[in-house]
Chains A and B, each alone.
Chain A
C-alpha cells in the first residue's frame, strides 16, 4: 500500500509541476511579461524596475525557478483592472462558486446514482428507458443551452424563478439545477452500465443460486463492486463541474470564480487567469488523489498487492 500511495502522490506533484510549467511557458511565449502583468500603460521606468525585480533579464532557467518560488509564496501578480492582488480576487469568489458546485455535486450524486442503479436492476422497464434517454440528452445538450432553456421556461415564460444575480436563495436554484442535471444524466448512465456489468458476472448468479435473497446479493455483492468504477467517474466529474461552473456562472451572472475567469480572459488580465489556472490544477490534483485513495481502499485487490492501476 505504501508504494501505491507514493506513486499517486508523485504523480500529483508532477501534474502540479506540469501545470506551473505550462503557465510559465505560455506566459513567456505570449509576450513581455512586464507588459502583461503591469499593463500597456505602465511607464517605462516601472517596466524596467519590474523586469529587474523579476529577473527577466536572467537566463530562462533562473526565471523558471524564480517563478516557481513566487508561486509557492503566493505572489501571483495583480489584476490589471483594479490593481488588487490576483489571489485576493480569486479567493473572495470561491465561496460563491462553492455555493453552486457543492449542492450541484450532491444533486448529481443523489439523483444520478440511484437512477442508474434502479435502471440497471429493472432493465428494459419504462424507468430504464427514461433514464437512458435523459442520459443521452445529458451529454448532447451543452450546459449553456440547458441553462438558457431553463431560463426560458422557468424565468421568462413561467416567471417562477429569477434569471440572474445572486440576491437570494431562489437565485441559486436554476444554476444548481443546470449544473446538476447534465451531470446527473451522465452519472446515471454510467452507474447503470457499471451495475449491469457487475450483475452479469458469474458470482452474482452463484450467490443468487445459493439462495441468498436478491436484496442482499445487490447490497453485498453488486453495489460494492460497481462502486469502484463509479468512484473513478466521480473524480472526472469534478473536472466537468468546474468547467460547467464557468459557463453557468456566466449565464446566470453569478459572481463566482468561473465568471471571473471569463471576464479576465476577455480582458486579458493574465495575473488573474494564471491564478485561477493554478487553483483549478490544485483542485483537480486533490480530487484525483482522493479518488485514487478511495479506489485503493475500495478495491481489496489493490490493498493486498500494493499494485498500482
Chain B
C-alpha cells in the first residue's frame, strides 16, 4: 500500500469568541482532535452540518490556517507555515475550490488571464507555453477560448466554477480540496460539475478532499466518507459501505434524510433538539442531546473513534461498547 498523500494527525483549532462587549470569552472548538489519512488517488468526502468544522478542517489540511495542535503532513513532509515562501511554493501542488466562484475571481480581469495567473506566479514555462496551457485547461473543463476572453460577470455560475477549477489545475497539483464547490449552483449544473470533477480526477490522478453538507453529491464522488459533528469525526468508512450500513446514529439520521435511488423512504429518522452550536458544546458525546438512542454513558464520556470491522471507524458508545461487550 502506498504511503498516504495527506496525513492529518489530531489537529485542533479553537477560536475565542466574546459574547457581547462585556461577556466572557468562550473558546469555540471548531475542530477538536481530527485525524485523517488520504491515499493517493482517493477522494475523501467530508460531511457535516454548518458548524461541524468541516470547512475549518479543509483549510487546515491545505495549510491555509495553522492548527492549534496536531500536524498535517503532505507527501511525507510537514506543511509549511502559512504566508512563508515555502508555503507559497507548496501551493503548486495543492489547491482549493471554493463555494462562491464569483467571489473567487477578480471581476476586472478576463478569466483566461486568471487561469494563467498560477503559471505566472510559479514561473512555469515560457509565455507561449503558458498560453497553450490555458487553452488546454479551458478544453479540459469543457469551455472554449471564447469563454476565456470574458469577464467573470459575463459567465454563468457553472461556467465560473469551471474556470476556478481550471485555474486550480493549472500547476498540475496532486491534491485538491473542494469546499462546497457546487452548493451555490443550480441542481442541474451541480451534477455536470461533479461529473467533470470525477472525469478530471481519473484523467489527472488527483487526490480530492470533498467537503459538503449534501450527501447526494458526496455519494457521487467519494471513495471514503468521514462524517463530522461539532468538530469531531464520528464515523469514517468506505463510501458505499457507509451509506448502505451507517453505524453512528447521526450518520443514520443523515442517510435516512437524503433520498437515494432504489431505497424506499422507510423510517425517516428525525432528530430532536436544537442544531449544534459550536460555542456551547454538550458534555460527553457532542451528539447525545439529539441522539434517539443515547444512554447514560453518552452524557459523561467522550466516545473515541474506534475500528468496527475492517473498513470502518465509529465514535459511539453504543457501537463500540457493544463490540467490546461482544468481544468480552
Contact = CB atoms under 8 A, between A and B. Distances in A.
Interface of A: 3, 305-307
A3 B23 CA distance: 13
Contacts of B21: 3, 305-307
Contacts of A3: 21-22
Contacts of A307: 21
A193 B223 CA distance: 60
Interface residues of B, number: 3
Interface of B: 20-22
A307 B22 CA distance: 9
Contacts of B22: 3, 306
A257 to B, nearest CB: 41
7 contacts: A3-B21, A3-B22, A305-B20, A305-B21, A306-B21, A306-B22, A307-B21
Nearest to A2: B22
A3 B18 CA distance: 15
Nearest to B22: A306
B291 to A, nearest CB: 38
Nearest to A308: B21
A307 B21 CA distance: 6
A261 to B, nearest CB: 42
Nearest to A4: B21
A307 B20 CA distance: 9
A1 to B, nearest CB: 10
A191 B91 CA distance: 53
A10 to B, nearest CB: 16
A110 B21 CA distance: 38
A291 to B, nearest CB: 21
A305 B22 CA distance: 8
A267 B20 CA distance: 55
Contacts of A306: 21-22
A225 to B, nearest CB: 23
A262 B20 CA distance: 50
A306 B20 CA distance: 9
Nearest to B20: A305
A60 B282 CA distance: 59
A308 to B, nearest CB: 9
Pairs of residues from A and B, 5 with the lowest C-beta to C-beta distance, nearest first: A306-B21, A307-B21, A305-B21, A306-B22, A3-B21
Contacts of B20: 305
A307 B23 CA distance: 12
A305 B20 CA distance: 8
A115 to B, nearest CB: 38
B20 to A, nearest CB: 7
A194 to B, nearest CB: 27
B22 to A, nearest CB: 7
A305 B18 CA distance: 13
B6 to A, nearest CB: 43
Nearest to A3: B21
A305 B21 CA distance: 7
A306 B22 CA distance: 8
A305 B19 CA distance: 11
Nearest to A306: B21
A3 B20 CA distance: 13
A126 to B, nearest CB: 43
A248 to B, nearest CB: 44
Nearest to A307: B21
A82 to B, nearest CB: 54
B163 to A, nearest CB: 39
A305 to B, nearest CB: 6
A3 B21 CA distance: 9
Contacts of A305: 20-21
B24 to A, nearest CB: 15
B152 to A, nearest CB: 33
A58 B22 CA distance: 46
B26 to A, nearest CB: 18
A27 to B, nearest CB: 41
A184 to B, nearest CB: 38
A5 to B, nearest CB: 13
A76 B22 CA distance: 43
A75 to B, nearest CB: 42
B7 to A, nearest CB: 44
A292 to B, nearest CB: 16
B18 to A, nearest CB: 11
A282 to B, nearest CB: 30
A78 B214 CA distance: 79
B92 to A, nearest CB: 44
A296 to B, nearest CB: 13
A8 to B, nearest CB: 15
B21 to A, nearest CB: 5
Nearest to A305: B21
